[in-house]
Amino acid sequence: MKITEKLQHQFALSHEGAVDMEKACASVTMTNIALMMPAGVLYMLIKDLLNDTLSKDRIPFYVIASIVIIVLIALTNFIQYNATFLSTYRESGVRRTTLAEHLRKLPLSYFGKKNIADLTTTIMADCAQIETASSHWIPEFIGALISTALVGISMFVFCDWRVALASFWVIPTAFLTVWASAKYQKTAVRKNTEVKMELADGIQECLESVRDLRSGNAQDRYMKTLDEKIKNVERHALFTELKLAVCVNSGAIILKLGIATTALVGGALLARGEIDLLTFFMFLMLVSRLYDPMQITLQNFAAIIASTVQCERLDEVLSHEIQTGSDTMTNNGYDIVFDHVSFSYNDDTAVLKDVSFTAKQGEVTALIGPSGGGKTTVSRLAARFWDVTGGKISLGGMDISKIDPETLFSAYSIVFQDVTLFNQSVKDNIRIGKKDATEEEIMRAAKLANCDEFVARLPQGYDTLIGENGSELSGGERQRISIARAFLKDSPIILLDEASASLDVENETAIQAALSRLIENKTVVIIAHRMRTVSGADKIVVLSDGVVKESGKPEDLMKQDGIFAKMVRTQTEGQAWTIA
C-alpha cells in the first residue's frame, strides 16, 4: 500500500488531505533541521576559537551564516504553518462535508442500529480530535523522527559511533515502551468514549422526559443516576490520563538515561584520548538539545495512538455501504407491488416473511393489524428507507432498489407518526414540503390540512415561531402541519403512518375530507389502528407477525369474519363503553 493510501485509511483523510499531510511532515522536518543548524555553526566557531584559527576573514562567514539560518528558520516556519494548520483546517471542512454527504446516503436501517449520541460524538468530538491530531501531533511526530534519524546517521558516519550509540539508544527504546502499551491505551480511550456517550444519553433523556419525571416525583432518583454517570466519566478520564502519563513518563525516564550514558562513554573515551574535547562537548550539547523535544514527541506519539480510536470510529461510518442507484425514473404509473418480500433488521430476526400485495394508483390501501405486525416496516420499505432482504418491491414496474433514494423520494409525500418540526415559523415548517413554494401554495396546503383554525390564535399567525420541535403547539396541531407539508409537496404517492393519531374526531373528519380531494389518481397507503380512519379505503391489507393474513375490500373482509372483522367489532364495542 502506498504511503498516501496508508495515511488515508489510518487517519480518515481524503486523497488531497493525505498528500497535504505528507507535505506537512516534510515541512516540519525542514524546520527541525533548520533549528539544528545553529548548533553546527556554534561547533565550527568553538573549534576555530580552540584552534586559534578565527581570523578576520572568517568573521563575515559566521555573520552571513547566522543571517541565512535566521531567514531559513523563518521561511521553514512559514511553510510549516501553511502546510500543517491551513491544510488541516481545509481538510477538516472536507472531512465534515464528506461525512455529512455519506450519512445522507446511508440506509435508515443504519441509524436504527446506531445510538444518536454515538453519531453525534463521531460528527463533533471525533472530527475535532482528528483535526488536532492532523495539525499538531502527526506532522510534529513524523517530522521529529525523520530529522532525528538524519542527525543520528550523521553522528554515526562523521563522528564517533560509540558516543553516538550511547546518545541515541534511548530514543528507540523510549518509543518502543510507549508503543508496547498501545493496546491498553486504546482500551482506556474506548471505555472513556463509552461512558461519555452514556452521560450524553442520560442528559438528553433527562431533558426530554423532565415533565414525566416531575409528574412521577422521580427527578431525585434520576438525578442520582445522572450524578453517578458524571462521576463515572470523571473516574475513567483520570484513569485514561494516568495510563497515558505512566507510558509517557516511562519513556521520558529512559530518555534521561541517555545523558548519563553519553557522559560516561564520552568521558571514558576522552580520558583515553580517543576523542577530543570538542567532540565530547558537541555530543553533550546535542543530547541536551535533543531529549527535551523528544519528550514532547513521546506525548505526541501517545496522543496519536489514542486518536486511532476516533479514526476507527470515523472510518466505520465512512466505510459503511451506501444506497445508490439511477437518478432517472423509468416507472409506468405508480402502482406499488410487493412481490414475496422478506425483511429483517438483524440477520436472525425476520420482521416480514413472504409479503405480497399491490397498492394501486388511484386507490387507498390501508395497512392494519396488531402492533409489531410489520405495518410501519412495509411503508418504510415502499419508500426505500431500507432495502429488502428477499423478494422485490416495484413502482410502476420499476425495481426501487435500482433507483437512487433521493430520486425516488421525489415521488413520495410522507406523514410520519412522530412529527419533526423546527424552531421556525409555521409557514417555514410547511414550506419544507416544497422549498420554492409560493405564499398561495402554502396557504392552500395549510387550509387543506385544517391549520387555519389554530394558526388564527397564534400571535403572528403563520409567521409565529413554534419552538423546538413545535413545543408551542399541541400534538394535533403539530400533526396538521406535517400533513400540510404532504399536501404542499403534492406527490403522486402518499404514505400516511398514523397521520390522524393526534387529531380529535372533528379534525380527523376534516383531514379525511381533504385527503379525498387530494388522492385523485394517486397511490395512497395508510397505516392506522382506528377502523374509522380506514373506513373509506379501497383495499385492506391485514399484517400480523410479518405475514399478510388477509387482503381485499373492506366489505369482503367483513364477510370472511377474520382478523379485520374482529378488529372492527372490538373497536365498535369499545366506543360504546361508558363509565357506570
Hey, CA dihedral for 541, 544, 549, 554, is it positive or negative? negative
Between 438 and 350, residue with greater pLDDT:
438
Q: How many residues in total does the chain contain?
A: 580
- Which homologous superfamily is 3-318 in? ABC transporter type 1, transmembrane domain (1.20.1560.10)
Per-residue pLDDT at 513? 66
Between 524 and 244, residue with greater pLDDT:
524
Residues of the chain with CATH 1.20.1560.10: 3-318
pLDDT for 200-223, tens place per residue? 888 877 877 877 788 788 878 888
pLDDT for 106-122, tens place per residue? 877 677 677 777 777 77
pLDDT for 97-107, tens place per residue? 888 888 888 87
What is the rounded CA–CA span in Å between residue 477 and residue 470?
Answer: 9
pLDDT of residue 503 exceeding 80: no
pLDDT of residue 574 exceeding 60: no
Beta bridge pairs of residue 465: 425
Per-residue pLDDT at 400? 92
**Averaged pLDDT of the chain:** 82
What percent of the chain shows pLDDT beyond 70? 93
Amino acid, res. 247: C
What is the rounded CA–CA span in Å between residue 128 and residue 155?
Answer: 40
If you average pLDDT over residues 470-499, what whole number do you get?
84
Q: What would the grid cell of residue 143 be?
A: 517530522
If you average pLDDT over residues 496-523, what whole number do you get?
70
What is the rounded CA–CA span in Å between residue 525 and residue 523?
Answer: 7
Q: Which residue has the cell 481538510?
A: 91
pTM of the model: 0.67
Per-residue pLDDT at 309? 83
pLDDT for 63-76, tens place per residue? 888 899 899 889 98
284-293 contacts: CB < 8 A, separation 24 or more? 285/39, 285/42, 285/43, 286/39, 286/151, 286/155, 286/167, 287/167, 287/258, 287/259, 287/262, 288/259, 289/36, 289/39, 290/148, 290/151, 290/167, 291/170, 291/255, 291/256, 291/258, 291/259, 293/144
pLDDT of residue 511 exceeding 70: no
Residues of the chain with CATH 3.40.50.300: 356-374+407-575
What percent of the chain shows pLDDT beyond 90? 6
Per-residue pLDDT at 507? 65
If you average pLDDT over residues 316-332, what whole number do you get?
84
Between 196 and 514, residue with greater pLDDT:
196
pLDDT for 129-144, tens place per residue? 888 888 878 888 888 8
pLDDT of residue 575 exceeding 70: no
pLDDT of residue 82 exceeding 90: no
Q: What would the grid cell of residue 402 be?
A: 435500482
What is the pLDDT confidence band of residue 339, given thresholds at 50, 70 and 90? very high
Q: How many helices (H) and strands (E) does the chain have?
A: 23, 10
Per-residue pLDDT at 499? 66
To the question of domain 356-374+407-575 being in CATH 3.40.50.300, the answer is yes
If you average pLDDT over residues 326-332, what whole number do you get?
87
